[in-house]
């Protein structure tokens, strides 16, 4: 079985981020420019802070690709932190006799207190550097590799913003994805976009931050990825875990999700249509309330995952807190931060969804070379119709 897996390393203000990706079949066309498109999208979105003016994220391919094609060995990527120039004394890896300026002002909502207690540190910087969402730049690079792989099978992954700061965009099916990319807040509705921008401006003026809701949609996903046989193979569980792992995400739903709690069963499930209503698809449903997943297995519909992002915990007008060392009541630590990252979170969500789907597709169809994997996929596709229909 081919297993798509990855590890990231690096701190927010360290020299950079490193990535190792294993399990990508040989023969997949992949370039730094292709990954760069998603890297730039992650840096965008109205409400980002000054750090994005410094960084020009780019994933350099160190290993695993030759003349534009993967060669089956692990792929190594390196992402430079340009802000390292301003932090090399604070974050240098070599020992030094210079006194360390410790961070001891704990921030509510961040990993500061829990992390320092777990690892026994007296300096919050040892925690905040790795707990920072800067790490997601590496994930987006991995997600771009997964996206490139999924494209070979006609699978696309998109995202858009539904809510920022309580302002909701009207939803009627999936949006025009090109309009989403043109929006400052990655929302296809012009009126909602304008009001979201105004809300972000008001939060900036007040020294506050805003959260919201974003949605990922994967189309072209075949029926049969994932499995019902063990809890840790259920694809809806894997997707939920992957999206929940994004910094500041506090809720995940699939398909209609939480609204099903107040919906009768007669209106909660996706009726299976007869063959004369299928078109070119092997199976078709009247609705997609399940979000493309039943029993932990993809059912052939679009896979839809929605996530709630809490407001960022680093405020320019800090909340009251306590000093790690003295226990003194103080104002929480403030370090340059964003006002709203919901638009960027959608891009990160796309990456995590693409990673999970790529892993599931490789689990199902294997293959050491991309052409072998595609042959396996094509043979399987011939079997996913009613047993009496050839």
The pLDDT tens digits of the residues spanning 340-372 come to 999 999 999 999 999 999 999 999 999 999 999
Domains of the chain (ranges, CATH numbers)? 104-381 (3.60.150.10)
Tokens of 62: 């160190």
| β partners of residue 167 | 164
Please state the rounded mean pLDDT for residues 322-330: 94
- Give 246-302 pLDDT, tens digit per residue: 999 999 999 999 999 999 999 999 999 987 777 777 888 999 999 999 999 999 999
Residue whose tokens read 């707990």: 131
What's the whole-number mean pLDDT along residues 197-219? 96
What is the rounded end-to-end Cα distance, in angstroms, of the chain? Answer: 29
Return the ∠ at Cα 111 (arms to 108 and 112), rounded to 5°: 70
Question: What was the pLDDT predicted at 293?
Answer: 98
Query: Does the pLDDT at position 52 exceed 70?
Result: no
CA distances from 166 to 55, 82, 225 (A): 30, 35, 35
CA dist 162 and 33 (Å) reads 29
- Residue 22 is classified by DSSP as E
d(CA 297, CA 87): 46
Angle between helices 342-365 and 370-381 (to 10 degrees): 80
Residue 88 pLDDT > 90: no
Distance of alpha carbon 125 from its chain centroid, rounded?
24
* Residue that wins the pLDDT comparison between 107 and 337: 107
Distance between CA 171 and CA 316 in Å, rounded? 33
- If you average pLDDT over residues 19-35, what whole number do you get? 98
* Cβ(102)–Cβ(90) below 8 Å: no
Q: Please give the C-alpha separations between residue 342 and each of 4, 9, 48, 240, 259, in angstroms, as whole numbers.
A: 27, 24, 10, 17, 22
pLDDT of res. 132: 93
Residue 51 has pLDDT above 70, yes or no: no
Contact 166, 211 (CB under 8 A): no
pLDDT tier, 336 (very low <50, low <70, confident <90, very high otherwise) = low
């Amino acid at each position: 079985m081919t297993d798509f897996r990855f590890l990231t390393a690096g701190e927010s203000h360290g020299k950079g981020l490193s990535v190792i990706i294993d399990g990508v079949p040989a023969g997949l066309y992949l370039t730094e420019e292709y990954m760069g498109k998603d890297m730039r999208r992650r840096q965008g979105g109205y409400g980002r802070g000054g750090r994005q003016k410094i960084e020009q994220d780019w994933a350099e391919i160190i290993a695993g690709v030759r003349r534009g094609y993967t060669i089956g060995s692990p792929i190594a990527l390196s992402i430079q932190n340009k802000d390292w120039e301003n932090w090399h004394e604070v974050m240098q890896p070599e020992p030094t006799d210079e006194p360390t300026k410790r961070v001891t002002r704990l921030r509510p909502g961040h990993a500061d207190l829990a992390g320092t207690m777990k690892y026994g540190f007296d300096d919050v910087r040892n925690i905040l550097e790795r707990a920072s969402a800067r790490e997601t730049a590496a994930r987006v690079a991995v997600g771009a590799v997964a996206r490139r792989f999924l494209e070979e099978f006609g699978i696309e992954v998109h995202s858009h913003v539904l809510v920022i700061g309580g302002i909701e965009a009207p939803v009627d099916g999936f949006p025009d994805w090109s309009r989403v990319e043109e929006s400052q807040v990655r929302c296809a509705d012009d009126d909602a976009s304008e009001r979201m921008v105004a809300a972000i401006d008001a939060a900036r003026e007040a020294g506050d931050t805003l959260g919201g809701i974003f949605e990922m949609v994967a189309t072209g996903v075949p029926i049969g990825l994932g499995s019902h046989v063990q809890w840790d193979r259920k694809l809806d569980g894997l997707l939920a875990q992957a999206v929940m792992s994004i910094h500041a995400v506090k809720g995940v739903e699939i398909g209609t999700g939480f609204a099903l709690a107040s919906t009768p069963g007669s209106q909660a499930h996706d009726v299976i249509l007869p063959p004369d209503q299928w078109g070119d698809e092997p199976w078709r449903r009247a609705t997609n309330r399940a979000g493309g997943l039943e029993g932990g297995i993809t059912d052939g519909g679009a896979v839809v995952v929605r996530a709630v992002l809490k407001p960022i915990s680093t405020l320019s007008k800090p909340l009251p807190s306590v000093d790690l060392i003295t226990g003194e009541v103080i104002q929480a630590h403030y370090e340059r931060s964003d006002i709203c990252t919901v638009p960027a979170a959608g891009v990160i969500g796309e990456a995590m969804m693409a990673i999970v789907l790529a892993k599931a597709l490789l689990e199902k169809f294997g293959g050491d070379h991309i052409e072998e994997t595609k042959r396996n996929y094509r043979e399987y596709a011939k079997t996913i119709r009613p047993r009496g229909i050839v």
